[in-house]
Amino acid sequence: MKVLKFGGTSVGTPQRIKEVAGLITDEKGKTLTVLSAMSGTTNSLLEIDAALQNDDKSKASDLLGSLRKKYDDVIANLYSSEDYKAKATSIVGDFFLRLEALAAADYNDYTQREIVAHGELISTNLMHQYMLQQGIKAVLLPALDYMKKDAAGEPEFDHISKELNRLLSEHKDTDIFLTQGYICRNHEGGVDNLDRGGSDYTASIIGGVLRAEEVQIWTDIDGMHNNDPRFVEETEAVHNLHFEEAAELAYFGAKILHPTCIQPAKVNNVPVRLLNTMEPTAEGTLIDNSLSRGTIKAVAAKDGITAIKIKSSRMLLAYGFLKRVFEIFEKYETPIDMIATSEVGVSLTIDNDANLNAILEDLKKLGTVSVDRDMVIICVVGDLSWQNRGFEAKALDALRNIPVRMISYGGSNYNVSFLIRSCDKVKALRLLSYHLF
């Protein structure tokens, strides 16, 4: 079984839906395809929800009306047969009745979750009916029947595996399955989701529990690039990445993949392939457990970083000092990205400064505190194990004329990170591409 995932742009128009249907049927063997909502729909649904939260029912109803109109147009252009037009109109009509009922009812904890779930419910049903019209025997597996997260928001892998395998076993003769990305049930059994961009995660979870042959993530770019194409000219797709390299890149800014997405595939050693819907024959990026020795693969940047330096008031880093520092970040549920220590102090970075003032107040009890805002982490990813010679030096050399606030190396075998001012970011990315690739 292969798991295929198509994002919102890939199914963003009737034409795209038709092309994606072609890509799915081109694949040999069994496939389970995860679809996102058509592009723009999740945002529209969230706008409808925002109007309801503001108690503006008339705005919500106008927005629902225009969304409905959009889907009427999609239906008119997607199906050639009057029968399927009527079927799709009735299915989509039922979803809109439900949306209208949610909008009319009193607002509660589940209103938003149920409303946003409709993007994926609609896109998968449209694709399903289209495939049936084309004579393709596809089966739509409702994600709400098997995808589940626990009270901590983590996927319930055992439950997912059991229920999904049960559903699949009911259709032994079927080769083509469809399902919704993003949506799930929570520990209360209510409709919920895996956070924005969560369809990648759905695909990886499914790939993991089914020990799939591979997970294909289809987007509108030909794989992960070796630098940020928005700032650097002539970036290139990286054809092979180790799971750890891909995770670092996703976390540190490469927007193509949802950072948590890799984990379930990685744990189960299921390769993840990034492919381009607009250019299906391009090689893309294959992410698996193999490492190309001695190469630097890519550079990524993470914006909006705040650096905090704490100098111990006792001059030497007494034992227990770091623990007390970390406890403060734990108390305010603020993750730390980068860290560097010296005899007398510690520097670290955060990207969530919601509780910065409270954190600083607490840190001041431990020593002298200083803060640098508006910083960027530049992450260089590749085979950077410590036994290799010269790779850190190359990266550092590229940044020779840029003030570097912090360096982090050795936390993994796969990256070296630099903290610089955001005004130096573009220059740094270009210099790194020039010197490394």
Question: Which chain residues interact with ligand ASP by CB under 6 A?
Answer: 7-8, 36-37, 42, 119, 181-182, 196-199
Residue 141 Cβ, how far from ligand ASP at the closest point, in Å? Answer: 17
Buried b (16+ CB within 10 A) or exposed e, 45-55: beebbebbeee
Q: Which of 48, 79, 181 is nearest to 121 (CA)?
A: 181
Residue 267 Cβ, how far from ligand ASP at the closest point, in Å? Answer: 21
12 binds, among Mg ion, ligand ASP, none (CB under 5 to 8 A by kind): none
Nearer to ligand ASP, 117 or 431 (CB): 117
Nearer to Mg ion, 218 or 321 (CB): 218
Residue 184 Cβ, how far from Mg ion at the closest point, in Å? Answer: 16
- Those residues with Cβ within 8 angstroms of residue 31's Cβ, 6 or more apart along the chain or in another chain: 1, 2, 3, 4, 24, 175, 176, 177
Residue 192 Cβ, how far from ligand ASP at the closest point, in Å? Answer: 13
Q: How far is CA 38 from CA 64, 116, 401, in A?
A: 15, 12, 45
196 binds, among Mg ion, ligand ASP, none (CB under 5 to 8 A by kind): ligand ASP
Give CA–CA dist 42/55, Å, rounded: 20
Nearer to ligand ASP, 14 or 119 (CB): 119
Give CA–CA dist 287/131, Å, rounded: 30
Give CA–CA dist 320/71, Å, rounded: 60
Choices 58-66, 79-87, 189-197, 334-342 (CB under 5 A): range interacting with Mg ion:
189-197
Nearer to ligand ASP, 200 or 248 (CB): 200
How many residues touch Mg ion (CB under 5 A)?
Answer: 2
Give CA–CA dist 397/388, Å, rounded: 16
Under rule CB under 5 A, residue 7 binds Mg ion: yes
Residue 97 Cβ, how far from ligand ASP at the closest point, in Å? Answer: 21
Nearer to ligand ASP, 201 or 321 (CB): 201
Helix (H) or strand (E) holding 357: helix 356-363
Query: Rounded to the nearest 10 degrees, how much is the dihedral formed by the CA atoms of 68, 71, 76, 82?
Result: -80
- The DSSP 8-state label assigned to residue 143 in this structure reads G
Choices 3-11, 104-112, 350-358, 420-428 (CB under 5 A): range interacting with Mg ion:
3-11
Residue 35 Cβ, how far from Mg ion at the closest point, in Å? Answer: 11
112 binds, among ligand ASP, Mg ion, none (CB under 5 to 8 A by kind): none
Nearer to ligand ASP, 8 or 155 (CB): 8
Choices 2-10, 206-214, 326-334, 424-432 (CB under 5 A): range interacting with Mg ion:
2-10
Residue 39 Cβ, how far from ligand ASP at the closest point, in Å? Answer: 8
Residue 274 Cβ, how far from Mg ion at the closest point, in Å? Answer: 12
Helix (H) or strand (E) holding 58: helix 57-78
Whether 383 and 294 have beta carbons less than 8 Å apart is answered as: yes
Three-class secondary structure of residue 292 per DSSP: coil
Residue 149 Cβ, how far from Mg ion at the closest point, in Å? Answer: 19
Whether 82 and 48 have beta carbons less than 8 Å apart is answered as: no
Three-class secondary structure of residue 298 per DSSP: strand
Nearer to ligand ASP, 261 or 350 (CB): 261
Region of 273 on the Ramachandran plot (φ > 0 left; ψ -120 to 50 alpha; else beta): beta
Q: What is the largest CA-CA distance in the chain?
A: 80
Nearer to ligand ASP, 149 or 309 (CB): 149
Whether 189 and 147 have beta carbons less than 8 Å apart is answered as: no
Nearer to ligand ASP, 36 or 235 (CB): 36
347 binds, among ligand ASP, Mg ion, none (CB under 5 to 8 A by kind): none
Residue 198 Cβ, how far from Mg ion at the closest point, in Å? Answer: 8
Nearer to Mg ion, 205 or 325 (CB): 205
DSSP string, 198-239: THHHHHHHHHHHTT-SEEEEEESSSS-BSS-TTTSTT--B-S
Site string for Mg ion, 190-229 (x = CB under 5 A): -------x--------------------------------
What is the contact surface with Mg ion in residues (CB under 5 A)?
7, 197
